[in-house]
């Protein structure tokens, strides 16, 4: 009996904590991983350097970065320099850091690459517990995308199911970090901050910094994040 | 009583015959139209000049072109120079001109722009009659995308429905042309060919040329398409 080839998976890797953990989980489940990042005009573009490092260290077979100018659409603090990143804490409403339809766009492009690779699995590190309330991080969104994926593609027409994996969706930030540490993720190379310095030091006050810091605090583990000199942490 | 503002719609405009007709229909229905095109590494990029002309002439309020390097994914004769465009006629199988997940990606970006514009309507000129059998042109795909759109966005969470309009989906190519001519579309500025010359002359033998020429023939109207010197038409 010949050795079974690994199943291929496209893994969305932003450079942050969640997607690094997701890549480590996909690898641990035996998938051959194809890491996909996006240069979409985000103000925290330094995260793309982190994405490359993470893809390399966690054993992705290939890392691809797709460029698209979502900043020409604007509508988010992450893609429009005129809209400030909120720093006063995570609230109940959908915040201005929400990028309209971002996960729909990212998953659509991942779907296209998966089809070319003949991969039937896509991993995305969305989380609906310690998160900012973005609509496209919810389980019902992921279910709807999976249904779409199976109608949208040649593979789907030919009866091959595409599965969207969201291994973090029900985990707290502390549980995500615990999982990643057990799998050997070096969180020192990940960047969560929405407005880091050009060299990647975190601000400590945006929602992403707050959620991350709180996760490490709950777990009782030191966060290796490098902060800017004026950060209140 | 004040004048009612026009409802906004994002209209996908490729530069081809179908999307030009779709824009004319959206305008005739009273929508304020925001035309959206994509520079996605297609070999027939000259269609983008046509898209700009069409958007101007048919009264779009704005025309935006989003760049994304789908050619780095490849997998299609339209985005990979190594894969030849078929010229022997429209067959039954999904042809190599199919671009993996293209309409999913285009609709996702349209959705993002619609959300920023606070538009609740997207028009796309897909057609499931005289077409090449692409999975992402079928009614069930559009229905699934509309369901996704209403879960993916802030507007959807807040109860505002997004409608995906496909006015051409059940029309033959001849009916599409007849509709557009009645609305004043100048098909001389549209480019359907998958492999036009750098100045936009059509090859006459790719599926897109064949479907277009047959539509005009059935209608008994002269096609204003400019063909290359060696085209068999």
* Structural domains counted in chain B: 1
Residue A166 has pLDDT above 60, yes or no: yes
Interface contact flag, B112 A99, Cβ < 8 Å: yes
- Mind listing the pLDDT tens digit for each residue in B136-186? 999 999 999 999 999 998 888 888 899 999 999 999 999 999 999 999 999
Interface contact flag, B116 A156, Cβ < 8 Å: no
pLDDT at A129: 86
Question: Does residue B141 lie in a domain region?
Answer: yes
Question: Does residue B138 lie in a domain region?
Answer: yes
Interface contact flag, A104 B135, Cβ < 8 Å: no
Look up the domain containing B21 and give its range: 8-191
Residue A214 has pLDDT above 60, yes or no: yes
On average, the pLDDT of chain A sits at 93
CA distance B182 to chain A (A): 32
Is B203 annotated as ligand-binding?
Answer: yes
pTM to 2 decimal places: 0.94
User: Closest to B154 (Cβ–Cβ): which among A98, A113, A116?
Assistant: A98
CA distance A43 to chain B (A): 18
**Nearest residue of chain A to residue B105 (CA atoms):** A108
pLDDT at B2: 45
**Nearest residue of chain B to residue A62 (CA atoms):** B73
Question: Does residue A154 lie in a domain region?
Answer: yes
Task: Compute the average pLDDT of residues B79-105.
Answer: 91
Check the CA dihedral B68-B72-B77-B82 and report its sign: positive
Question: Does residue B200 lie in a domain region?
Answer: no
pLDDT at B4: 61
Task: Compute the average pLDDT of residues A210-230.
Answer: 95
Residue B36 backbone dihedrals phi, psi, to 5 degrees: -130, 125
Residue A215 has pLDDT above 80, yes or no: yes
Interface contact flag, A111 B102, Cβ < 8 Å: no
CA distance A217 to chain B (A): 31
Kindly write down the DSSP assignment for every residue of chain A, as one continuous string: -PPPPPPEEEEE--SSHHHHHHHHHHHHTTPEEEEEEEESS-TTTTHHHHHHHHHHHTT-SEEEEEEB-GGGT--STTT-TTSPPP-S---SSPPTT--TTHHHHHHHHHHHHHHHHT--EEE----SSSS---GGGSHHHHHHHHHHHHHHSHHHHTTPPPEEE-TTTT--HHHHHHHHHHTT--GGG----SS--TT--B-S-SHHHHHHHHHHHHHT----PPBPTT---
Question: Does residue A204 lie in a domain region?
Answer: no
Question: Does residue A128 lie in a domain region?
Answer: yes
CA distance linking residue B84 with residue B93, whole number of Å: 16
Three-state DSSP class for residue B124: coil
pLDDT band at B6 (very low <50, low <70, confident <90, very high): confident
CATH code for the domain in which residue A74 is found? 3.40.50.620
**Nearest residue of chain A to residue B136 (CA atoms):** A152
Question: Does residue B216 lie in a domain region?
Answer: no
Residue B225 has pLDDT above 70, yes or no: yes
- Mind listing the pLDDT tens digit for each residue in A97-150? 988 999 999 999 999 999 999 999 999 999 988 877 889 999 999 999 999 999
Beta bridge partners of B33: B9
CA distance B42 to chain A (A): 15
Question: Does residue A19 lie in a domain region?
Answer: yes
Q: Chain A residues with CB inside 8 Å of B102's CB?
A: 112
Residue ranges of E strands in B74-167: 121-123, 163-165
Interface contact flag, A151 B157, Cβ < 8 Å: no
Interface contact flag, A105 B105, Cβ < 8 Å: yes
On average, the pLDDT of chain B sits at 93
């Amino acid at each position: 009996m010949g050795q079974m080839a690994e199943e291929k998976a496209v893994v969305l890797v932003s450079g942050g904590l969640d997607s690094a953990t997701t890549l480590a989980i996909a690898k641990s489940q035996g998938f051959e991983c194809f890491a996909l990042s996006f240069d979409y005009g985000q103000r925290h573009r330094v995260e793309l350097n982190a994405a490359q490092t993470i893809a390399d260290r966690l054993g992705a077979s290939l890392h691809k970065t797709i460029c698209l100018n979502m900043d020409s659409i604007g509508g988010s603090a992450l893609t429009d320099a005129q809209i400030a990143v909120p720093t006063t804490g995570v609230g109940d409403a959908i915040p201005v850091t929400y990028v309209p339809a971002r996960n729909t766009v990212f998953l659509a492009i991942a779907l296209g690459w998966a089809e070319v690779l003949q991969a039937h699995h896509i991993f995305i590190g969305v989380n609906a517990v310690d998160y900012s309330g973005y609509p496209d991080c919810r389980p019902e969104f992921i279910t709807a995308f999976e249904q779409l994926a199976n109608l949208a593609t040649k593979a789907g027409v030919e009866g091959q199911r595409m599965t969207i994996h969201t291994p973090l969706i029900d985990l707290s930030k502390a549980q995500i970090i615990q999982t990643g540490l057990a799998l050997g993720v070096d969180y020192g190379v990940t960047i969560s901050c929405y407005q880091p310095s050009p060299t990647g030091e975190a601000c400590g006050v945006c929602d992403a910094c707050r959620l991350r810091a709180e996760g490490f605090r709950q777990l009782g583990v030191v966060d290796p994040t490098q902060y800017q000199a004026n950060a209140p942490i």
